[in-house]
Amino acid sequence: MKKKSYGVKPHRTALGTPTGKVEIYSITALRSRLDPLPDNREPLYTRPKAPDEFYLVNGKDDIVSSHLAFTHNAKYLGDRAVWMNPKDAERLGVKDCDEVELGGIDNGFKARARVRVTNRVREGVLFAYAFLGGRRSSLITEQFAYLREGVNPQWFTTGKIEPVVGSAPTNSTVRVRRL
């Protein structure tokens, strides 16, 4: 095995930036005559205001991915519940595995999901996996009926696009009602 060597590539090589150093501004934005420094912008969706309103965020992990959503493993590994903090659940009278209705604040869309009460989310926030649940296709056979369980977080978004980078926002605000 080769011994570690210091003072050679990549340790002493300049970065691939115009100055060769870490830069805190966007060269692309600067070239487009836009403000190159990062700034804080209000989200493109309504912020929660009432005690029954929550940020709905989504994501994936090492098990849940877009590939898993279309395999038999999703039936056993995928969590199609909406995660809620225990303090929020207690305030709303929601218990683990209860069914709730989520209503989109910005678009009025409604859907049902089971709740998983967990400390893995902050107060005021709900979490749902991005690729699982809420599939509505008529092509889903009974064998894959579990794909209809839960919600698709994209249903509640505004569809507005972020300026400059063009990313579509995937978070939203929903109202929760216990069923």
Residue 8 lies in a domain: no
CATH code of the domain covering residue 107 = 2.40.40.20
Structural domain range at position 153: 53-178
Q: pTM of the prediction?
A: 0.72
Q: How many domains does the chain fold into?
A: 1
Give 125-174 pLDDT, tens digit per residue.
999 887 656 666 677 778 777 777 778 888 898 888 776 666 667 889 99
Q: Looking at the chain, which runs of residues are DSSP E strands?
A: 53-59, 82-84, 99-104, 110-117, 125-129, 172-178
Is 21 within a domain? no
Q: Is residue 44 part of a domain?
A: no
How far apart are the C-alpha atoms of 86 and 70, rounded to whole Å?
31
In 3D space, the residue among 103, 112, 161, 151 whose CA is nearest the CA of residue 131 turns out to be: 151
Between CA 109 and CA 130 the distance in angstroms is 17
Q: Could you report the per-residue pLDDT of 67-83, keeping only the tens digit for each? A: 655 565 556 555 778 99
List all residues 6 or more positions away from 86 whose beta carbon is below 8 Å from its beta carbon.
Answer: 117, 118, 119
* Residue at 6 is within a domain: no
